């Protein structure tokens, strides 16, 4: 089943693979966040982990800081992560062998790959705008397949007081995760 949601209340882009219906992972590891907005990385990692835990979609969430600790102490896991991100960036595809190694090293049966697409205060048509954008890919760490992916952004206009980017990121992550498999049990 594939789909693109563009209506109010939906996401800008969303794709769900055929395996999403029967996908019920117990543990989800959030991989270190990538993107050109490096200053947003720690905030977004923390926000996504908190929102995912609160959603109760899985029994256990392995947060990015714990993932990083594992990769710093296990060379095979680190090499698999480098290969995984390299292939994801160049082909847009999930590398099966690397995903399986990463999942095994983290004790996770699913991986969440998050990318920051926007994290900025800007001006558009005379308005001050705060904008946060994310992409997410949910990967089955048992077989390396991408089960679900989505891209969305939120923005808020303001006059004098800038909105807190973490608040915008929390709203965005909450909106995105509610569409993520598995369905709440």
Domain assignment present for residue 167? The answer is yes
Domain assignment present for residue 120? The answer is yes
Domain holding 69: CATH number? 3.40.50.10610
Handedness of CA 84, 86, 87, 91 (dihedral sign): positive
Q: Is the pLDDT of residue 41 over 80?
A: yes
Domain assignment present for residue 147? The answer is yes
Range of the domain at 168: 13-179
Domain assignment present for residue 175? The answer is yes
Domain assignment present for residue 184? The answer is no
Cα 140–91–51 angle (5° rounding)?
Answer: 45
- Could you tell me which residues come within 8 angstroms of residue 10 by beta carbon, excluding any fewer than 6 positions away? 179
| pTM exceeding the 0.85 threshold for the entire prediction | yes
Whether 136 contacts 114, CB under 8 Å: yes
**Cα-only R_g, the chain:** 16
How many separate domains does the chain show? 1
What average pLDDT score do residues 153-168 get? 95
Domain assignment present for residue 8? The answer is no
How far, in Å, CA of 9 to CA of 37, rounded? 26
Domain assignment present for residue 2? The answer is no
Domain assignment present for residue 7? The answer is no
Q: What is the pLDDT of residues 115-157, one digit of tens each?
A: 999 999 999 998 999 999 999 999 999 999 999 999 999 999 9
């Amino acid at each position: 089943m594939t789909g693109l949601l563009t209506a109010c209340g939906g996401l800008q882009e969303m794709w769900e693979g055929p395996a999403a219906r029967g996908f019920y992972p117990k543990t989800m590891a959030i991989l270190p966040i990538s993107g050109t907005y490096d200053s947003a990385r720690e905030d977004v990692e923390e926000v996504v982990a908190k929102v995912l835990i609160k959603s109760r979609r899985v029994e256990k969430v392995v947060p990015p800081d714990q993932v990083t600790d594992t990769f710093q102490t296990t060379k095979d896991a680190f090499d698999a992560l480098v290969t995984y991100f390299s292939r994801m960036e160049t082909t847009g595809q999930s590398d099966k062998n690397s995903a399986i190694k990463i999942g095994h090293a983290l004790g996770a049966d699913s991986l969440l790959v998050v990318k920051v697409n926007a994290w900025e205060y800007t001006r558009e048509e005379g308005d001050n705008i705060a904008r946060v954008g994310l992409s997410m890919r949910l990967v089955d760490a048992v077989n390396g397949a991408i089960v679900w992916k989505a891209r969305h952004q939120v923005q808020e206009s303001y006059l004098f007081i800038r909105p807190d980017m973490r608040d915008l990121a929390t709203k965005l992550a909450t909106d995105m995760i509610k569409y993520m498999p598995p369905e709440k049990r």
